[in-house]
């Protein structure tokens, strides 16, 4: 009987000493009850450490951390992830630390270099299976991407592994947890091994890791599943190579899954950057309303401040809905009308602009006056400013740089507008926190009289459908038209997406929840004649 | 006797049809005088095409372009670069197009995946030399990085190549052109081959390609060198495998080299993004003064507009120096004092900030009022806004997000402050375009009374020296202190660099001129506990 602990930790990228402390604390907690503890991929640096890996000081700190972990490994086997320079070559390693020494190191074979991943920038692939014995069972080591391919699993099985310990840093997108389980279950069945899949949890810049660690037996049956978006430490007893049943937390689904991802990513970005609180502009529209709900769920109402900043174009119901929501959610609320600053700029620019008709310039000035107010409050009080824009806007550039795009973090950056609506309705399921009218009104930027989003953009149903095909699936304009969308709209949307890369490049990060987010996941040139 | 044309083109990333047109036009111009034309790496897509490569439409367009190029290849051999999907795998290819067909394709063996390069994200490496005969001489094909390694050269030589045709997209940094020549000359000598090295020229987002194409003989002697930072089309006659002497343009050196890189990068970023003109804020300080000189040299005085935006803290000499420089350079000039907007914001925020002492919040409001004015002029007139900050500021965050950091392009983003001074003095060599007093005054942000940069930052000589070691060479704080710098300063600088990644992430692109620029060249997490 061997008991394996799955340490689903929330690590801090770069904080090697702190992450080592988490390993040692966890080992101390489970010692006597567990025989082996499995930690996430690159436990010591967190994931993704990016170019921190290139600093020689990184290697020194990892080596020091490993010595401390080794000293804590008497009576318990710790399977820990870290980068390791060996003969001048850097590997992504899973090390077995027991009885005071780093006994074995497995080198990750499959290095992902697509989507958000850049592992070939840092690592060389390994080639050999590493298997160790404990309690009469053979355990094989693999790291994350390895298990998406046959070869590393095959080699481990051929080397005698009965149970695979797989260390992961697998970022979230909608539905990913289920994909992983299906794939790993298939590998387990085909190669006749049980698999212990340990994933990290928590936000890191634009990524959120959902945890969802699990254990499958050699028939591919789920024997344990840790919660999503929470740290966890579970002990799974094995009878020989067969896992006993342990807690199986249901997977979150649908809107709840996405919403929890947004809350987790937002909370960690704020907290891990050393902020305690946030401010955001509450317009009476649905994006800022949902952002407020996420902020309150992430940080608590006492750490959220909202500002309503009406102008001559703001409908009265926008102000009252904003105030009503602030009251419902119990957050600090001010109203600061932007007219004095807006007028000052119009006057200051009047000689320069003499004779020029009003255009988006004047709309942008309003958005930027709001940006200044919000950043001033952010600066003065030490709040992080949350940006409220959604993916549909970010895609087509329907947002003002340095205006409503200003901020440290954009929770909805990867959330299409149609999903914003679904999330808002879902959040209201147990009582209205977002006023119904905010959800039902036609959306408007309120930057000129009687403006509606639909004056400038196709219907959001159509827009989001086209964007999913153009941005997430790389389909061509002709293909999308062939799928039944009007050519005019498709061409316009594609052109807007291409032209607005410069805006996205200056946008704050947000939580990736789709298969392809803007940012490191979609790397487009700004100068682009495609 | 075989004559080779080196086509040092300025390509537009993504514009596959337009780039093919450049190839065809060039072939038509040199036909009858040249036997072979060598184009830059990935001629058809431009470099780097980034995730455009993942679009299936990219392959379709490349195939169509190749058919047109093939049709234009009667009587002349065209060696063209392009991405090619072969059996489901994408390669970075140099194709020999002659007599109406794509006759041979060489697949790049060495795929750089460090610094600004991500080629493993897109391509698989080739393994085989490709050699063709023309006029009794054997020509081998290689692509860029290949020639930095022995293996591809060795294989080509072993396959009989007497002359290597090397297609490049080698981005500039200071001194790079000379490095390339030395390295290629060494390979040429060691493997007994002549080398035709063709590089692209021009700016692409944060990169600038310097051209500097050249030919070396099998003794490593330079036989031809094309100019830096200009398109060129040179014919080099070969006697058998030996290049005859052709024009050898001297390499630019020192400040001139860097300055020309900045001008070229700025011109292309503006032009290739469809802008004709720029606006910038002229403060009377040296950064904006140098940026103005670059803008005028890049675009012409009639396409540059400057705005002076004094506040209560602006010295009178700042205004008069700004105006004097604008007059000298012959650019449109306005002065728009920011006091009305600044006061409006202070009043609007007074109730919210009641009792809070002034701090950087009020300084940032001033910078952001200027950002609004500049962006309004940019929006109204269709000018691109140039940002004037330098690398030293960008490193330590001595700049205001959405304020002086606002803009589409930052020419000095990778230029340390000490180099800004050297470049300004160099630009004044034939007559003062930057007022001497602007160069000689102690630098100040003028955001509060009697402010000096030296109140907040170490001396720029010290700062830049520490930054070079910490940012460009990844040295640790201890190492830098060991090299003789005060621990206090080094720790402070390192902390500021680490903490200000969030600002840099929202900064516009600028021209890379050092070995390590911010942006794709240095990929750091924002959440970072290192």
ipTM of predicted complex: 0.96
Q: Three-state DSSP class for B264?
A: helix
B434 prior amide bond cis, ω within 30: no
Residue B41 annotated among the catalytic residues of the structure: yes
CB contacts, 8 Å: A65 with chain B: none
Summarize pLDDT for B428-468 with one digit per residue, the tens: 999 999 999 999 999 999 999 988 888 889 999 999 999 99
Tell me which chain B residue has its CA closest to the CA of residue A48.
Answer: B525
Instruction: Determine the pLDDT at residue B456.
Output: 87
Residue A144 annotated among the catalytic residues of the structure: yes
Segments of chain B with pLDDT less than 70: none
Residue B355 buriedness (CB in 10 A; 0-12 / 13-18 / 19+): exposed
Bridge partners, B209 (sequence order): B171, B202
B contact residues 229-248, partner A, Cβ 8 Å cutoff: none
Contact between residue A301 and residue A336 where contact means Cβ atoms under 8 Å apart: no
Contact B272 A379 (CB under 8 A): no
Instruction: Determine the pLDDT at residue A328.
Output: 96
Long-range (24+ apart) CB contacts under 8 A made by B107-111 are: B108/B142, B108/B143, B108/B144, B108/B145, B108/B146, B109/B142, B109/B146, B109/B149, B109/B151, B109/B152, B109/B155, B110/B145, B110/B146, B110/B148, B110/B149, B110/B151, B110/B152, B111/B145
The answer to whether residue B410 neighbours chain A at the CB level (below 8 Å) is no
Q: How far is B476 from chain A (nearest CA, A)?
A: 6
Contact B529 A348 (CB under 8 A): no
Instruction: Determine the pLDDT at residue A320.
Output: 95
Give the nearest partner residue to B402 out of A58, A375, A526, using CB atoms: A375
Structure tokens at A137: 């069972």
The Cα B230–Cα B9 span in angstroms is: 8
Instruction: Determine the pLDDT at residue B184.
Output: 98
Query: What global pTM score does this model have?
Result: 0.97
Summarize pLDDT for B378-421 with one digit per residue, the tens: 999 999 999 999 999 999 999 999 999 999 999 999 999 999 99
Same fold, B2-251 and B256-453: no
Which secondary structure element, helix H or strand E, spans residue A239, and what is its range?
strand A232-239
Instruction: Determine the pLDDT at residue B300.
Output: 98
Instruction: Determine the pLDDT at residue A51.
Output: 97
Structure tokens at A419: 């999903």
CB contacts, 8 Å: B373 with chain A: 345, 348-349
Contact between residue B518 and residue B526 where contact means Cβ atoms under 8 Å apart: no
The Cα B241–Cα B192 span in angstroms is: 10
Structure tokens at A212: 């969802």
CB contacts, 8 Å: A471 with chain B: none
CB contacts, 8 Å: A57 with chain B: 476
Going by C-alpha positions, the residue among A355, A377, A353, A354 that lies closest to residue A365 is A353
Segments of chain A with pLDDT less than 50: none
The Cα A359–Cα A351 span in angstroms is: 16
Structure tokens at B148: 């930095």
Contact B380 A356 (CB under 8 A): yes
- From B26, B58, B119, B144, active-site residue: B144
Contact A364 B343 (CB under 8 A): no
Summarize pLDDT for A63-98 with one digit per residue, the tens: 999 999 999 999 999 999 999 999 999 999 999 999
Contact between residue B269 and residue B203 where contact means Cβ atoms under 8 Å apart: yes
CB contacts, 8 Å: B380 with chain A: 353, 356, 359, 361
Contact between residue B498 and residue B518 where contact means Cβ atoms under 8 Å apart: no
Residue B512 annotated among the catalytic residues of the structure: no
Q: How far is B439 from chain A (nearest CA, A)?
A: 30
The answer to whether residue A510 neighbours chain B at the CB level (below 8 Å) is no
Written as one string, the DSSP assignment of B300-316 is -GGGEEEEE---TT--H
Architecture of domain A256-453: 3-Layer(aba) Sandwich (3.40)
Percent of chain A clearing pLDDT 90 (strictly above): 97
Give the nearest partner residue to B375 out of A334, A402, A502, using CB atoms: A402
Architecture of domain A2-251: 4-Layer Sandwich (3.60)
Contact B340 A347 (CB under 8 A): yes
Parse chain B into domains and list their residue ranges.
2-251, 256-453
The Cα B421–Cα A491 span in angstroms is: 47
Instruction: Determine the pLDDT at residue A192.
Output: 97
The answer to whether residue B352 neighbours chain A at the CB level (below 8 Å) is yes
Pairing mode, strands B36-38 and B77-86: parallel
Instruction: Determine the pLDDT at residue A456.
Output: 87
Instruction: Determine the pLDDT at residue A454.
Output: 87
């Amino acid at each position: 009987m061997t008991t394996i602990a799955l340490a689903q930790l929330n690590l801090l990228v770069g904080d090697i000493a702190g992450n080592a402390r988490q390993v040692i604390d966890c080992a101390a907690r489970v010692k006597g009850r567990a025989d082996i503890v499995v930690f996430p991929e690159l436990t010591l640096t967190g994931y993704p450490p990016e170019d921190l890996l290139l600093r020689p000081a990184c290697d020194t700190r990892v080596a020091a951390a490993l010595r401390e972990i080794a000293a804590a490994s008497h009576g318990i086997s710790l399977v820990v992830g870290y980068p390791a320079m060996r003969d001048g070559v850097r590997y992504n390693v899973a090390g077995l630390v027991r009885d005071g020494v780093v006994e074995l190191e497995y080198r990750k074979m499959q290095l992902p270099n697509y989507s958000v991943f850049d592992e070939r920038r840092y690592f060389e692939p390994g080639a050999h299976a590493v298997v160790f014995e404990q309690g009469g069972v053979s355990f094989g080591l693999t790291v994350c991407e390895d298990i998406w391919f046959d070869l590393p699993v095959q080699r481990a099985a051929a080397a005698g592994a009965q149970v695979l310990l797989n260390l992961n840093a697998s970022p979230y997108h909608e539905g990913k947890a289920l994909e992983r389980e299906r794939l790993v279950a298939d590998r387990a069945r085909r190669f006749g091994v049980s698999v212990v899949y340990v994933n990290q949890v928590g936000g890191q810049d634009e990524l959120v890791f959902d945890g969802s660690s699990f254990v499958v037996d050699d028939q591919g049956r789920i024997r344990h599943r840790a919660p999503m978006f929470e740290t966890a430490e579970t002990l799974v007893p094995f009878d020989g190579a067969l896992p006993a049943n342990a807690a199986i937390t249901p997977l979150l689904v649908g809107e709840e899954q996405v919403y929890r991802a947004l809350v987790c990513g937002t909370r960690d970005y704020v907290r891990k950057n050393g902020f305690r609180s946030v401010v955001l502009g509450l317009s009476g529209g649905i994006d800022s309303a949902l952002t407020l709900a996420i902020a309150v769920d992430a940080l608590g109402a006492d750490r959220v401040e909202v500002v309503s900043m009406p102008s001559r174009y703001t409908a009265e119901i926008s102000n009252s809905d904003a105030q009503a929501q602030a009251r419902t959610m119990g957050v600090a609320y001010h109203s600061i009308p932007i007219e004095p600053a807006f007028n000052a700029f119009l006057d200051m620019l009047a000689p320069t602009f003499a004779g020029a008709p009003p255009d988006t310039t004047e709309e942008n000035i309003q958005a930027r006056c709001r940006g200044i107010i919000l950043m001033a409050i952010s600066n003065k009080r030490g709040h992080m400013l949350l940006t409220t824009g959604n993916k549909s806007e970010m895609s087509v550039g329907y947002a003002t740089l340095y205006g409503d795009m200003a901020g440290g973090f954009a929770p909805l950056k990867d959330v299409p507008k149609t999903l914003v609506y679904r999330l808002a309705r879902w959040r209201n399921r147990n009582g209205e926190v977002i006023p119904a009218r905010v959800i039902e009104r036609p959306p408007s930027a309120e930057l000129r009289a009687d403006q509606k989003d639909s004056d400038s953009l196709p219907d959001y149903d159509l827009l989001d459908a086209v964007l999913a095909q153009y941005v997430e699936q790389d389909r061509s304009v002709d293909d999308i038209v062939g799928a039944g969308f009007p050519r005019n709209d498709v061409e316009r949307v594609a052109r807007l997406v291409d032209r607005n890369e410069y805006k996205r490049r200056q946008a704050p990060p947000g939580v990736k929840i789709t298969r392809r987010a803007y940012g490191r996941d979609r790397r487009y040139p700004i100068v682009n004649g495609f």
